[in-house]
A and B are shown apart, each in its own frame.
Chain A
Amino acid sequence: MIINVPKQFHKNTIIEFLGKSESVFELKGKRAPDTVLNCENITKMDMLGVLLIYKFLEFAVTNKCYKNPQIIVGEESSAFRQAIKDYGFEELIFKFINNKVPLSKDYSELEILSDDKFIIAPHALLREGDYSSQSLQNIFLPGIEKYYSENPKTVRMIFTFLGEIVLNFWEHAVDDSKSIIVAKGNHDLLEIACADTGSGIFTSLSNFVNEKHRQKDKILLKAIEQGTTSKKGTAHMGYGLWILNELIKLVNGSFHIYSQGGYYINEYRKIRNNKCGYWQGTIIYLSIPLKNPKNLTDIPMHEKNQQFKKLQLNFS
C-alpha cells in the first residue's frame, strides 16, 4: 500500500490526509508488509502537516503497524526535508525512520526566536517528572511574552489559548500518549497546533451526551458547548474548547478539531462539521489574528454575569 501525502499539505488538506492514513489505527501490532509513505511529491507543507506526519510515524513505529515500511523523503532540498528542518522535527522524524523511539530529552524547546517571527519547535506535553511544566514556564511562555511585550492584551489572549489547550491535552491524555504542541507566530498572526493519539473526544464524551450527539461529527458540536465535560463532579468545567471557540469567533480566526472520524472547523465564523477519515486521538489547530486581541471579558456571558454578582469576593 502506498500512502501519498497531499502535495500541498496544510490545514486545508488535513481531511484528505486523514482519509489516506486512517488504516494505520487498525494495524496495531499487525506488522503489515509493503507499506510506503510517500512524501516525495510534497511541494508545500506547513507546521500542522509536519506535526501529523510525525504523529503518524510515531504511532506506526511504536505500535509495530508495518513490517519494514518505507518512507520516501526526497532529496536533501525537497520541500518535505526543508519543512521538517524549519519546524524542528528533523531529528525526531529521522529517529523514527531509523526505527528508534525518541526520548523526552529529544523533544526540542524554544528553537527559533528572531525579530520577525518565532517558531516553537515540537514540545511534548508529558506528565513524567516536571519536564513539560518547567520548560513551558521557563522557556516557552517567557519567549512568547518577550516577543509580544509591546502589547500586554495580546500576551494575555495568547496565554489564555495556551493555558486551555495545554490543560486539555494534559488531562485527557489517558496514557501519556505524547501530546505534541507546536506554534509559530509573527506580529500579525499566531498559529498553534497540538495532536495526540490518545483516546479522543468521542470515546471521552459519548457516554455523557444524548443520542442526537452520539455521532462522530455531531459530538464535536457538543464538545464546544459551554459545560460539556466527561468529568462531571470534578474540577473539570467543560469550558476549555468553548473558550477557544468563542475567542476565535471574536478575533475572526480559525479553529479546527479532528478526532476519531469527525471534524469541526470554525473558519472566519463559518462552521463546517462532518465525518472524515479516522484519527485516533485529537488534533487541534488554531490560527489567531493578533491585530485586535480579545480576552475572556469580551465574550458575552449575560446570564453568567447575573450569577457572578451574587458571589462574595474580596478583590482589592
Chain B
Amino acid sequence: MKIQLSDYGSIISDKQIGEKIYHTLSSALKKGVLVEIDFQGIKSMATFCAKQIFGALYLELTPPVFFEKIEMKNVSEDLKLIIKMGIQDAIETRDSGNLKKND
C-alpha cells in the first residue's frame, strides 16, 4: 500500500491530521500489508505529529516489524530527524511509565 503524505498538506502540524494519518497507517498494517510512505512535497512536520504517528506505531509494532513493514521514501534530512525525535521520545515516555493511551 502506498501513501502519499502530501495528500494531507505540505506541513503536518495539526493533531487531527496526525490522527487521520495514524489511523490510515494503523489500519493498513493490521491487514498485514507493507506500507510505503512517500514524503515528497512535505515541507515540515511538527514534532508532536511525529510522535503521534511514528512514535506510536514504533511502539505498537516493535522495532523489527516497523522496519520490515514501513518504508519511508523521499524523506529530507530534517524530516528524518523529526521522525527520529518523535520515536525516541515515545520510547522514553514508555520507559518512564508515563504513557497515556489515545492522547
Q: Does A271 contact B (CB under 8 A)?
A: no
Number of interface residues of B (CB under 8 A): 51
Q: Does A12 contact B (CB under 8 A)?
A: no
Binary B-proximity of A221-250 (CB < 8 A = 1, otherwise 0): 000000100011111110110010000000
Q: Are A156 and B43 in contact (CB under 8 A)?
A: yes
- Residues from chain A with a CB closer than 8 A to the CB of B75 are 315
**Once bound together, how far apart are the Cα atoms of A145 and B6, in whole Å?**
15
Closest B residue by C-beta to A297: B77
- Residues from chain B with a CB closer than 8 A to the CB of A243 are 47
Among A162, A227, A235, A236, contact of B13 (Cβ-Cβ < 8 Å): A162
Q: Are B73 and A316 in contact (CB under 8 A)?
A: yes
Q: Are A233 and B81 in contact (CB under 8 A)?
A: no
Binary B-proximity of A266-301 (CB < 8 A = 1, otherwise 0): 000000000000000000000000000001110000
Q: Are A313 and B83 in contact (CB under 8 A)?
A: yes
Among A164, A231, A234, contact of B47 (Cβ-Cβ < 8 Å): A164
**Once bound together, how far apart are the Cα atoms of A295 and B78, in whole Å?**
7
Q: Are B56 and A235 in contact (CB under 8 A)?
A: yes
Q: Are A296 and B81 in contact (CB under 8 A)?
A: yes
Among A162, A171, A296, A314, contact of B72 (Cβ-Cβ < 8 Å): A314
Q: Does A137 contact B (CB under 8 A)?
A: yes
The minimal Cβ–Cβ distance linking A254 to chain B, given in whole angstroms, is: 21
Q: Are B98 and A315 in contact (CB under 8 A)?
A: no
**Once bound together, how far apart are the Cα atoms of A170 and B15, in whole Å?**
9
Whether A237 contacts B48 in the complex (CB less than 8 A), given A133-B16, A312-B67, A314-B72, comes out as yes
**Once bound together, how far apart are the Cα atoms of A151 and B82, in whole Å?**
21
Binary A-proximity of B21-58 (CB < 8 A = 1, otherwise 0): 00000000000000000000001111111011001101
Q: Does A103 contact B (CB under 8 A)?
A: no
Q: Are A159 and B44 in contact (CB under 8 A)?
A: yes
Q: Does A304 contact B (CB under 8 A)?
A: yes
- Residues from chain A with a CB closer than 8 A to the CB of B9 are 133, 137, 141
**Once bound together, how far apart are the Cα atoms of A171 and B103, in whole Å?**
12
**Once bound together, how far apart are the Cα atoms of A167 and B45, in whole Å?**
10
Interface of A is mostly: helix
The minimal Cβ–Cβ distance linking A316 to chain B, given in whole angstroms, is: 5
- Residues from chain A with a CB closer than 8 A to the CB of B17 are 133
Q: Does A108 contact B (CB under 8 A)?
A: no
**Once bound together, how far apart are the Cα atoms of A80 and B44, in whole Å?**
36
Q: Are B76 and A156 in contact (CB under 8 A)?
A: yes
Q: Are B51 and A314 in contact (CB under 8 A)?
A: no
Q: Are A232 and B98 in contact (CB under 8 A)?
A: yes
Closest A residue by C-beta to B73: A316
Q: Does A84 contact B (CB under 8 A)?
A: no
Whether A167 contacts B84 in the complex (CB less than 8 A), given A233-B99, A315-B75, comes out as no
**Once bound together, how far apart are the Cα atoms of A160 and B14, in whole Å?**
13
Q: Does A1 contact B (CB under 8 A)?
A: no
Q: Are A167 and B88 in contact (CB under 8 A)?
A: no
The minimal Cβ–Cβ distance linking A288 to chain B, given in whole angstroms, is: 14
Binary B-proximity of A188-222 (CB < 8 A = 1, otherwise 0): 00000000000000000000000000000000000
**Once bound together, how far apart are the Cα atoms of A163 and B43, in whole Å?**
10
Q: Does A174 contact B (CB under 8 A)?
A: no
Residues from 120 to 135 in A contacting B, C-beta threshold 8 Å: 133
Question: Nearest 4 pairs between A and B by C-beta?
Answer: A233-B98, A163-B13, A159-B44, A235-B52
CB within 8 Å of B: which residues of A? 133, 136-137, 141-142, 145, 155-156, 159-160, 162-164, 166-167, 170-171, 227, 231-237, 239-240, 243, 295-297, 304, 307-308, 311-316
**Can you list 24 residue pairs at the A/B interface with Cβ under 8 Å?**
A133-B14, A141-B43, A142-B10, A145-B43, A156-B43, A156-B44, A159-B43, A160-B44, A162-B44, A166-B46, A232-B96, A233-B99, A233-B103, A235-B18, A235-B51, A235-B55, A236-B51, A237-B89, A297-B78, A297-B81, A304-B84, A315-B75, A316-B72, A316-B73
